[in-house]
Amino acid sequence: MADSSVQSRIDPFIARLTEALGPKGVSIDPQEIAPHVHDWRGRWNGSTPVLVKPASTEEVSKALALAAEFGIAVTPQGGNSGMVNGGVPYGEALISLRRMNKVREVDPLNDAMTLEAGVVLTQAQEVADKAGRLFPLSLGSEGVATIGGLISTNAGGVAVLRYGMMRDLVLGIEAVLPDGRIWNGLRGLRKDNTGYDLKQLFIGAEGTLGVVTAATLKLFPKPAVKETAWVVVKSPADAVELLARARAWTGGAVTGFELIPAFGLGLVLKHIPDTRDPLPAVAPWRVLIELSLPRPEGAREMMEGLLAEAIEAGLVGDAAIAENIAQSAMMWKIRETLSPAEKAHGKALKHDVSVPVSRVAEFMERGEALVKRMAPDGDLIAFGHVGDGNIHFNVTAPQGRDAEAYLEGEGKAVTQAIHDLITELNGSISAEHGVGKLKRDEIARRKSPVEMEMMRAVKRALDPENRMNPGRVV
Ligand code: MLT
Ligand code: ZN
């Protein structure tokens, strides 16, 4: 986007855009643009000549058709809460979907709802709730993350072990192709065996194939009761064993199972206001367990029975069951603020990795040894979705060092070593945060040539001019 021929096309492009979308749909105001060109962790700073703000699918279509006509690259953006430098523009036109925030349809009998891309996740959860249903996706940034961004990044979060990732929650999508054509794939069908499942191409594509403008999403029965427990364990191995028991004991009612390190808990208590340790203890790990049940009768006894048996078996040191919503909210607050607390502690090498659940303990032991050896002055903050085999294995830059220089310099060797270990364990170097610019070269190195060639072929087929979020993913 830096070459002068592109520069000369930008002004007429913006003029035609303004004609087509009206002044509300286009901004070149640096103040309005500013929050869109940095990521929330303050790691990446980009720029854009224009912020496009369509209010309808037709306006997205007009914008992309004009971008095609003028040969302009485009970066789509949702809530801008991503982790992998995928949605920050570097000279591309930025298209923000936030004004497209209508609820198009709620169909409780079909357990489905159709929302536009700019609907924020907490609003989506409320829409489902009002219809007497559950939309189960849940994650730390749910107050800002949008449906379009969550689809484009195939978001995960804290309920994946029961309900799956975004990929599993989408019945249909509507998308605008790079040339401006609209594809209406908003089918609310559980069964549709008519060839390639094209919607899946757009889920997790990070805007590299087109712009997702709306989606039909799955709804679930709303649990009548949730039981939450804060459990002290001595090792990730015990946590994994506890998960297997919890699933068997409750007949599959485990909807949350999150691992929290004592060090991370300490950071939350230090940096996040109004937090309190639910059960002070010296052990190195905590597990947050949530059960979701269709009837209140017997729910508490089920959790108590599970924990009593686990204490008896020596898997659990101590445990506290939330007595009310406030106590359960406190437990979840600690879990959900691990990431901001880590940010307050310092910049970190982020490793969003996964292994088969059966290998989590081995990964944690070997990974911890590796960090002690290669980054003895950094802090390891390993936490997260142990029930999915997905650990956020983050390592902060050593205190007192220029953090950015460390992350961009010798920290890279630490990342390589952790990723080598993950590869050896048959895991993934990006479990739920995606690829963006951050891991683009890394996946090209680690995936087989045949897999990369299939991905590139899809990209060429849908975006032959490489104008959609270029330089991300493939
Ligand atoms: C989380 O689960 O809290 C985030 O995905 C993790 C992170 O910030 O690394
Ligand atoms: Zn996570």
Pick the residue whose CA is nearest to atom 8 on ligand 1.
339
Fold of 103-221: 3.30.465
Mean pLDDT value of segment 158-185: 98
Mean pLDDT, the chain, whole residue set = 97
What contacts 24+ positions apart, CB below 8 Å, involve 187-191?
A: 187/216, 188/107, 188/110, 188/112, 188/114, 188/216
Pick the residue whose CA is nearest to atom 3 on ligand 1.
339
Given the candidates 3.30.950.10, 3.90.1150.110, 1.20.200.10, 3.30.70.2740, the CATH classification of the domain at 346-434 is: 3.30.70.2740
Question: If you ran DSSP here, which 8-state letter would residue 276 be given?
Answer: -
Residue 417's Cβ-count burial label (10 Å; 0-12, 13-18, 19+) is middle
Nearest to 112 by CA among 182, 184, 204, 215: 215
Pick the residue whose CA is nearest to atom 9 on ligand 1.
392
Q: Is 199's C-beta closer than 6 angstroms to any atom of ligand 1?
A: no
Please state whether the predicted TM-score (pTM) of the whole model is above 0.85. yes
Give the whole-angstrom CA distance, residue 56 versus residue 60.
6
Percentage above 90 pLDDT, the chain: 97
Mean pLDDT value of segment 398-408: 91
Using the atom order of ligand 1, give the atom closest to the CA of residue 352. Answer: 9
In this structure, which ligand is nearest to the CA of 334? 1
Cβ contacts of 343 within 8 Å, gap of 6 or more: 41
CATH class of 4-98: alpha beta
Asked if the model's pLDDT at residue 7 lies above 90, the reply is no
Q: What is the pLDDT of residue 400?
A: 86
Nearest to 257 by CA among 333, 342, 162: 162
Ligand 1 binding pocket mutation candidate from 339, 345, 430 (most atoms within 8 A of CB): 339
pLDDT band at 3 (very low <50, low <70, confident <90, very high): low
Say how far residue 285 (Cα) sits from the centre of its chain.
Answer: 24
- What DSSP element (H or E) covers 462? helix 449-462
Each domain of the chain, given as residue ranges in start order, spans 4-98, 103-221, 225-339, 346-434
Q: Which two tokens stand for residue 257?
A: 């199972």
* N- to C-terminal Cα separation, the chain: 18
> What is the Å distance from ligand 2's center to 255 Cα?
15
Q: What is the pLDDT of residue 101?
A: 98
Q: What is the DSSP string of 43-109?
A: --B-B-S-EE--SSHHHHHHHHHHHHHHT--EEEESSS--SSS-SS-BSSEEEE-TT---EEEEEGG
Percentage above 70 pLDDT, the chain: 99
Question: For strand 318-321 and strand 352-354, is the pairing parallel, antiparallel, or unpaired?
Answer: unpaired
Question: For strand 182-185 and strand 103-107, is the pairing parallel, antiparallel, or unpaired?
Answer: unpaired
Asked if the model's pLDDT at residue 1 lies above 60, the reply is no
Give the whole-angstrom CA distance, residue 245 versus residue 248.
5
Using the atom order of ligand 1, give the atom closest to the CA of residue 433. Answer: 5
> What is the Å distance from ligand 1's center to 384 Cα?
7
- For the chain, count helices (H), then strands (E): 18, 19
pLDDT, tens digit, 9 for 90 and up, residues 123-157: 999 999 999 999 999 999 999 999 999 999 999 99
**Candidate from 3-7, 164-168, 214-218, 279-283 with smallest mean pLDDT:** 3-7
Q: Is 459's C-beta closer than 6 angstroms to any atom of ligand 1?
A: no
Given the candidates 3.10.20.30, 3.40.50.1110, 3.60.40.10, 3.30.70.2190, the CATH classification of the domain at 225-339 is: 3.30.70.2190
Give the whole-angstrom CA distance, residue 190 versus residue 210.
24
Mean pLDDT value of segment 301-330: 98
Q: What is the pLDDT of residue 9?
A: 96
E strand spans, 123-238? 133-134, 170-176, 182-185, 211-218, 220-221, 225-233
Mean pLDDT value of segment 79-89: 97
CB half-sphere exposure, 132, CA atoms < 13 A: 5
Mean pLDDT value of segment 212-218: 98
Q: What is the pLDDT of residue 221?
A: 97
Mean pLDDT value of segment 42-68: 97
pLDDT band at 252 (very low <50, low <70, confident <90, very high): very high
In this structure, which ligand is nearest to the CA of 338? 1
Pick the residue whose CA is nearest to atom 5 on ligand 1.
157
